[in-house]
Amino acid sequence: MKKNISSLIAGCTLAFSALSTLSMSTAAQAADPLTLQLKWVTQAQFGGYYVALAKGFYEEEGLDMTVKPGGPDIAPPQVIAGGGADVIVEWMPAALASREKGLPLVNIGQIFNKSGMMLTCLKDSGIEQPMDVVDKTLGVWFFGNEYPFLAWMSKLGIATDGSEGGVTVLKQGFNVDPIFQGQADCVSTMNYNEYGQVLDGGLTPEELTVFSYEDQGVAMLEDGLYTTEEKLADPEMVDKLARFLKASVKGWKYAAEHPEEAAEIVLEYDDTGAQTEDHQIRMAKEVAKLLEGNPKEIGYLDPAAFDRTVDILLSGDSAPVITKKPEGAWTHEVYEKSGL
């Protein structure tokens, strides 16, 4: 009798175990795959997504999430156009330029509410006010990152062709070498990244004059989330994107409140080993400042901020990024469905 009872218990245990395994397998299969393409390499600029991945926030929303790092040879619009991603992180000028060229990108959520871009100059070059840059050499990022600078120069009435009374533009790589090698009086920096590299190189804040594009009135929206009109026409994809946005915002809030831990998580996902803990912690703290000031919630695109970016893009005297105000370039559908 005891043997029969033992056999019965063992059989029930095996059955329960099998059911549990089946249940777990079914749950895993039920997770919806979604791929995010980042604008740049793995770093705390994207800390919220990595935190959401590590903390299981995407899993909680029923998503099987893939986060793909970017790099100098990776253009997020091209990746999504080729089917390599469902959603991308991109700066608005580049996204709107792609849209006008025929790729119907749509902003579904705005993460950074402020711009982190700055022009960092050597004070001993005689640069203390904006007009002091005249007849100086300025390092400028291109590949879509030059638009705020060109808009600022246009606003100041300063030519960028190297003529007398203008400025000489040096095409800057994604580093700050020109300011240390005597090639430029100023270099482009982000408040959360390259500015720290300038300080790490031995210069002090007292030796520098910093012009924030935010303060100069030419800041454009940076890290936003974009997908395509085709994907938004699919209700199931809209539902997945809404869950993605909800989990991502949760990750960003956690990252802002715990920058040290966020930096550690980012380092765990950095396969290159190129990042350092101190730099990532500093970046996480500075990035958190760019999330502030949204009129509603992280992830909400303020229409007024969109209009401001478009107006700046259309105001420049140089070759225009866009030639007309885009229609249908953003939507609140995903944000509203997310329940944020």
pLDDT digits (tens, 9 = 90+) for 291-319: 999 999 999 999 999 999 999 888 866 55
Q: What is the mean pLDDT of the chain?
A: 91
pLDDT interval class at 10 (50, 70, 90)? very low
> How high is the pLDDT of residue 143?
76
Mean pLDDT of 16-42: 69
Per-residue pLDDT of 120-154, as tens digits, reads: 999 999 999 999 999 999 999 987 788 889 889 98
Q: Which phi and psi angles does 189 have, rounded to 5°?
A: -145, 155
Rounded to whole angstroms, how far apart are CA atoms 194 and 6? 68
Q: What is the largest CA-CA distance in the chain?
A: 104
Write down the pTM of the prediction. 0.88
> How high is the pLDDT of residue 319?
59
**pLDDT greater than 80 at residue 11:** no
> How high is the pLDDT of residue 23?
41
**Domains located in the chain, CATH noted:** 29-114+220-338 (3.40.190.10), 117-212 (3.40.190.10)
> How high is the pLDDT of residue 29?
57
**pLDDT greater than 80 at residue 24:** no
Per-residue pLDDT of 66-115, as tens digits, reads: 999 999 889 999 999 999 999 999 999 999 999 999 999 999 999 999 99
Mean pLDDT of 230-241: 98
